[in-house]
Structures are given as C-alpha cells and as structure tokens.
Structure 1
C-alpha cells in the first residue's frame, strides 16, 4: 500500500466503554470523486494512485497504524434526552499526528456499528457532496469547522425513499468529542470514564484549563466565537443538538443546514424543526442551553456539587456578554468600522431593513459601498437614510472586501450539483467547489453564483442524515 498516514490512536487508550472496535463494511466498486491534496500535505499524508485512495477511503483497506473505532455518546435532540446515540454511520480510523498537529480521521457512511440502531450506516451521494462543499466553504470563510479530505463513490445503491448511489466522505476534525460524550458518562454515573474523558480533553484541546470550571469557561468561549461566526455569514446549522456540539468549537455534522438567501431572523431549514428551535436567530440561545447541559455533566467531577451548581450557573450566565462581544466584532468588520455601540446599532438597523424587504444576506454585505447597494432593497429611501449614517462612520471599504464573501454555497446550487452527480456528472460539483473555496474573489465565474434562486429553484427545507 503506497499511502502513508502518521497515525496515533490516543482515544483507544481510554476506558473500553468509551468506544467499540469496528472495521468499516466493504463496498463493491469504490472510485475517487475528489481528494484534498493540500489538506493531505498539511496532515503529513502521502499517497500514490487514485485506486489506492479509493480503497482506503472507502474503508475496503485499513491503512497501517489505524485502529478503527466507533465512539459512544448521548445527547439532547430537539430538547429531548436520548441516552444512547454514538457513531451509527461513521468509523474513526485514528488520529493523524502530522505537521499541522493532531486531527481525527473519520469515514462517514462506512456501514453499521454497534450504535446504528435501525439504520444501515450508509450514506448516499447527496449528503457526502453537501458535507464536502459546506465544510470546505466554511473553512475558506474562516469559520471553525471540520474539513473534508476525500469523497468516494461506493458503487453500491443506498435505499432511502428510492435507491441512490452510495458515497463516503472522509472527515478531518480537531476531535469528534461532543457535549453529548460528557453527557453519556455522566448520565450513566461512570465517573472513571468521565474523569478520563475530562483529562483527555484538557490534554488534547485545553492544556491551560486547571479545573472543570476553567474547562467550562474555555469551551463556552469557543462556542460563542463559533456561533458569532455562523451569524456573520448567514449560516443556519439546523440541528444544534448536544451530540452535534463539538468540544473543540468546530462546526460539525452538515445535515439540514444552509446559508440564507433572503434574510429572515427566524429562518429555518430543517425539515423536522417544526417549531423553529434551531432557527437562525435562536442559535445563540441554543448555544447557552447546550453549554448548560455540559455544565450539568461536569458537576459529578466536583467535590462540592452544591457549590459547583452555583459556580457553573454563574459561568453559563456569562455567555451572552462573550457572544455579544464576538458578534459586535464580526458585524462591525462587515460594515468596515470599529466595534462600538454605534456599530451595533447600525448593524441591527440594517438587518431590520433586510428582514423587512427580504433582502439577500450575502449580496447586501458584498455590495455595500458599491453603486448597486441600494438595489437590494424595496424601500430605497429608508436604505439611503441608513447609508448616510453608515458613511458618516467612514467605513474601510478595503477591509469589507476581505470580510464579506461574494459567494457562498447556496442551497439551490448544492441541490443542482447533487442532481447532476446522481446522473453521473461531477463537473458542476467541482466548479461550485472551486468558487466557494475562494469566496472573496470577484470573477466572471464567481458572478454566475451570486444570484439567489428564482421561485422555481427555491429549496426551503433540508433533511437529516446520510
């Protein structure tokens, strides 16, 4: 085998109940759709042929040094407790310890595991391509995220509503430890495993943390920064369950997610989010809720648990102030002015105008300061009045051009790419990927991806799962 991967597997040195050994299920005829060679170099992975890549990243061949496992975790899903989740359709091959540091390497869609319940553990091509596009676009936007290393077509059919071509995406993450991982062991009163997980997370992600309180504060800060990043690019995650809240502060699990077209503060894209729990405007509030669940899971580690409840409550109540500071910085940068109460007011007023006129989120910010900026609005007189107030702040237009993306992977474009791929044509996927991974570059090609969908192209819901 010509592929060399610098594996380590520190998670398998933790207590046995934290994972299950699980090899991927073989597929019949794997073929490589895409390989992220630049990311592979950063990870210290060397490779030879596309055939080798397809065999390894379909799970047909286990590379030297890998110790494949499925991780155990639990979580609150739409506010309801589920005590047994885990990697039901993913296998962690191991941790890559290369030039860029230590990262998990996981195959998603690689077959059944002990945590699959009634699922088949497989992925069809649509979610594989969506995760690749979305995660690499988020990385290009400087929003913390998992990455995509490879996508493989399996040669097998996956049965959903109908039969679809199967696929597997290789996901790279700082780790796959979630708030739900802590919840799993706290709920089961497995304190040895909970302590081992706590020590592992500190060693791997938060070496400056000296106590559960410190760890909670640092994780909360990263979550506040992450959500502010989502808000600044109009991103809606769609399933902010605690099993999808990653401890390292990266965006993870690109299921029913989307970048907004028309701005609406309570926009929802998940087909199962009937009450808008995970709407765009609710994301900061849900992040606080999730952090509170982490705090609850950490309490068993404290010698004085009554005092811990008081201390942790005070810490969690500090989330809004941290988030507001992060939001202020990002939206001030989008307006090209210094963060202040005045920048907050300008941003909030602009968002209110956008909501009223159903203006396109990405295009409004991308065109501010250009001759066409008022064209995004119906009530142009009101926008003109806002614009005068904004220009009085002397915005830095050059800064704005490297802050506000020209393109994002819009939902209707992703759906078109998936449809073409299902029919055997991957050219639209590669074209869209090339554009959204250079989101600030204006070009004739990029201009073709800046338009919101016409009514016949609107996709108002996305769906969970692979």
Structure 2
C-alpha cells in the first residue's frame, strides 16, 4: 500500500509519532467494499491475514508514518484543555479516484493523549461506528467512512468486561475545530497559522487567492457545518457528543460514539444517556452547531483580525442551515416547488409527529404512498398504513387535507411523486435494536449479521422485500436500550 502522510509534514508539535500496540490474535469481522473502492483496495483481499495484521495495528506498512494528533476542545460547553487522539493512530493517506484519504486505526492502543484510558475500543462500539459510518454515507450525509473492522479476544474493562476491536476509518482529514482551539488557547499564533495554511492548501485550495483566506475558511466551514446538520435533522440522526473536538474542519460527521436515529419522534429526544442536561438533544443540534462555529471563529480570530467580518461569516450559518433543511424537507414531502405557506405546513407536520410520537422513518416512507385520487368514503382505509401511526387520527386527517391541497396546487402525480419520495426517504436506517442484535451475535462469535446489516444499510432506499423485517417498528425490548460515552 503506497502510503503518504501530509499531516506528518507539519512540525512535531502537532503530533506524536508512535507505533500501534499489537492486538493479540486479531480476526476479521467485516469490511466495506464501497469504502475500499475509495482507496483502490480490493475488498476480497481485506479478510486475508496480511490485511488483518495491518488493520489491527500488528504490522505497519513500510511507507506508513504512524502518528497521533494533539488537539483540545470544549466538551459539553466547558473548556476541557488538551485532548488528542487517545486511542487513534493515523497510518497515512492512500490515493483514490476522488483524492487522498487518511486511514486511521481507532482502538490501536495507548498514546500520550489517552488521559488515563487504555487506548482500546470495544467490539460493541466499534460495530456501531463501522455500520453507522457506511449507513450515513449511503444516506448522502457528509461523513467519515469505515473501511474495516477487526476483533480480538483481548479483554477490555468498561462497565463490564468486553472484547477489544479496531475500526479502520477514513476521511480526507481528521483535523477538528479543537485542533485550532488547541493553539489559540496556548497563545501559539505561529502554530495556528501553520495549521490553517495546511488546511487551506490541502483541502480548500480555492481560498488561497482570497484577500483574507482565514476569513473565507471560517465562512466555508460554517456553511458546511450548517448543511451537514440539516442532513442530520432530515434523516433523524442524533450525534450525541457534539463537542468541538468532534467537529470536522471539513464539515463531515466525525466520531460515532453515542448516536441514534430518531424512532418515536420527540424534538427533545436525547440519544446519549451521559448527556443528563440534554445539551445535544435533537432540537439542540442546530444551535449547538452554531455555538461550535463561534468557538472555531474565536480560535481563528488572531488570523482573521476582523471581528465584525468573523461575526458576519457566522451569520451565514442560519441561512445555510435553513436553505438546506428547507430543500431537504420539500424533497421528503415530494414537493417540487416552494410556495407561501409551506413553512406552516411543515411546522404543523412536525408538531403533529411530536405530539403523537410517530416513528420518524416510517412516517416519511409511508407518506410517499399517499394517494390523491381517493374518494372521501375510502380515504381512511387508503391512508390506514400512514394514519395508524397516529393516536390523533383526526389530527392527521386534518393535516392530510392541507397536504393534498398543496400537492394539487403544483399538479403532483402519484406515481412520479412516490418514486421521487422513495429516493430521499429511507426505508432502512441503523435503528439501535438492529445494531444491538448484530452486536450480541458478534459477541458470541457470529459476525454474519454485521455484514448482512451493512449490505442492507448500503441500499437504504431500495424496497428489499426479503429484508422487510429490518424496516419494522422496534420491539418492546428495544425501549430499554441506552448508549453512553463509554466505549
């Protein structure tokens, strides 16, 4: 593998060079063929012993320059000081058809930034990150990717004793908001400039000729972050730990710790059991994303040197989010035009969903089946699959009258609208109970469910009648599942 490593060309203060800690008797769990294609690897070879050794950290390719990066950040709104890659080791970059991708081993052992941790990841959380990375990519959400997952019988102590695992994740860069905060709060303006110049040169080259490239960097990152969060909201995804050290400078979803896809819709839902105050609830993701961009702006201000311009750049967040979310919701409802009154229609829909705790994914998928050409006396029966998601059926009926009127206003066709809506409203998402089932089988030595679930989630918009059970409402036992920051 012809590795390169542009991050390793930065001064030594930005990272620590170190070798991964070997994982005893590693074994292959799963790999993503779609991720492999991004770096020119043959997915059929990834299960072979040589690749298992490389992507467990037991053998380092000759051209790799392993390192762990330093960064800082705000965690749950409080300055946490120095953090860094506590269990992640960057191998380097591989070139692919869309440019270089960094490959990073998560769970590869202790680093100088492990902060009393053991540097390991467990099979449970690694399966969740592996599956969700690829599921989000299939949904069209900007995200890091997951190439491969390996495991070991080595014991790791969390709330209970679990087995270790390593997930190989990929991104053009793993630089975070907290990477800039680190140097700002240390008063290291030269290092701050070096990092900003590196990011602009390698990932935003179009900004190099700008009058104030650092201001333009803030402007573009703010826009990308806003659009990313609009994608999250539109698919019902909740990140769970939106700390500034988990925010990508590229505007892609980074660090899948405690996360969740909305099931019974509740705008105040908290997916992370550790988040007692609800800072990262579904409703708060939008303002917290804006807050995080302010934290980045504060770190970049010594380079930008224009507070008013920086504030103006941050103002673009609301517009970028609003425009993207409006576009996505119009598509989810099969509306090809924007009309006055659409916002009221959307607000009434979300309010009704919230009050009835309607399953988020099923609602939008079944909405695509709603027909215009239904006689009044047949309407309740025709709407039953969608209508029965609501306890307040009269409330749904009233909203459906308004929705049908809006569809007729633009001459909507049932067949073409259904096809269009099914292209943007997934049938399959990574529900917690599906992940838990795959995890429990894997913990008993059966890894087939991980690969099967991956294959289903790679085609989230397809009907897949043979996998209908994976689109069902969660079983009763799933209501007791909790995810937290422990991994």
- Equivalent-residue separation in structure 1 for 2:131 and 2:362 (angstroms): 20
Structure-1 residue corresponding to 2:30? 34
Show the counterpart of 1:289: 291
2:435 maps to which residue?
A: 414
Distance 1:21 1:71 in 2: 9
Q: Name the SS of the counterpart of 1:347 in structure 2.
A: helix
Partner of 1:375: 388
Q: 2:198 and 2:343 mapped to 1: Cα distance?
A: 39
Contact preservation (8 Å) 1:139, 1:145: yes
Residue from 369, 387, 406 that aligns with 1:393: 406
Deviations 1:207-261 (A, max 9, x none): 2222211111100110011000000000000000000000111111111100011
Count of aligned pairs: 458
Quick one: distance in 1 between partners of 2:423 and 2:459?
11
Tell me which of 131, 155, 158 is aligned to 1:157: 155
Alignment-derived partner of residue 429 in structure 1: 450
- Give the Å deviation of 1:360: 0.2
The residue aligned with 1:298 is: 300
Contact 2:222 2:316 in 1 (8 A): no
String of CA shifts for 1:270-307, please: whole Å, max 9, x gaps: 111111110001111001100000000001113xx4xx
Alignment-derived partner of residue 349 in structure 1: 348
CA deviation after TM superposition for structure 1 residue 411, in Å: 0.7
Q: Which moved more, 1:144-153 or 1:453-462?
A: 453-462
Which is further off, 242-251 or 375-384?
Answer: 375-384
Asked if 2 retains the 8 angstrom alpha-carbon contact of 1:9 and 1:95, the reply is yes
The offset of 1:49, in angstroms, is 6.0
What TM-score do you get using the length of structure 2 for normalisation?
A: 0.91
Q: 2 CA distance for matches of 1:161 and 1:42?
A: 36
Contact kept? 2:31, 2:46, Cα under 8 Å: no
Most deviating of 220-229 and 310-319: 310-319
- TM-superposed CA distance for 1:53, in Å, is 1.2
CA distance in 1, matches of 2:364, 2:478: 23
Alignment partner of 2:193 out of 195, 199, 223: 195
Judged with a 3 Å threshold, the aligned counterparts in structure 2 of structure 1 residues 415 and 48 are, in CA distance, closer, same or farther, namely: closer
Aligned to 2:71: 73
Could you tell me the TM-score, scaled by structure 1's length? 0.95
Q: Higher mean Cα deviation, 98-107 or 292-301? A: 98-107
Report what 1:458 is aligned to.
Answer: 479
| Superposed counterparts of 1:187-266, under 5 Å | 187-209=185-207, 210=210, 211-266=213-268
Q: Which runs of 5+ in 1 are unaligned?
A: none
1:341, distance to aligned residue in structure 2 (A)? 4.4
Q: Is the 8 A contact 2:368 2:421 kept in 1?
A: no
Task: Report if aligned partners of 1:328, 1:343 keep a CA contact under 8 Å in 2.
Answer: no
1:89 corresponds, among 67, 87, 90, to: 87
CA deviation string 1:331-390 (max 9, x = no partner):
110001024443322222111111011100000000004242212111112212211211
Q: Give the distance between the partners of 1:136 and 1:26, measured in 2 at CA.
A: 26
**C-alpha spacing 1:418/1:357, structure 2 compared with 1 (3 Å):** same
Measure how far apart 1:42 and its partner are: 2.7
Farther off after superposition, 266-275 or 39-48: 39-48
Q: Per the alignment, in what secondary structure is the counterpart of residue 359 of structure 1?
A: coil
1:318 paired with 2:316, answer yes
- CA drift of 1:29 comes to 0.2
Q: 1:155 to 1:363 in 2, by over 3 A?
A: same
Q: Residue 433 of structure 2 contacts residue 481 of structure 2 at CA under 8 Å; is this kept in 1?
A: no
1:463 deviates by 1.4
C-alpha distance in 2 between matches for 1:406 and 1:379: 24
Cα shift at 1:104: 1.0
Moved more, 150-159 or 124-133: 150-159
Contact conserved, 2:87 with 2:114, CA < 8 A, in 1?
A: yes
**Where does residue 131 of structure 1 map in the other structure?**
129
- Structure 2 gaps, min length 5: 370-381
Aligned counterparts of 1:153 and 1:197: Cα–Cα separation in 2: 34
Given the alignment of the two structures, is residue 146 of structure 1 paired with residue 144 of structure 2, yes or no? yes
Distance 1:407 1:38, change over 3 A: closer
CA 1:273–1:84 in 2, change beyond 3 Å: closer, same or farther? same
Verify the 8 A CA contact 1:332 1:344 in the aligned structure 2: no
User: 2:334·2:368 contact (CA, 8 Å) conserved in 1?
Assistant: no
Q: 2: CA distance between counterparts of 1:442 and 1:436?
A: 12
1:272 corresponds to 2:270: no
Cα gap change, 1:431/1:15 in structure 2, threshold over 3 Å: closer, same or farther? same
Q: Please tell me the root mean square deviation across aligned C-alpha atoms, in Å.
A: 1.4
For the residue of structure 2 that corresponds to 1:194, the secondary structure is helix
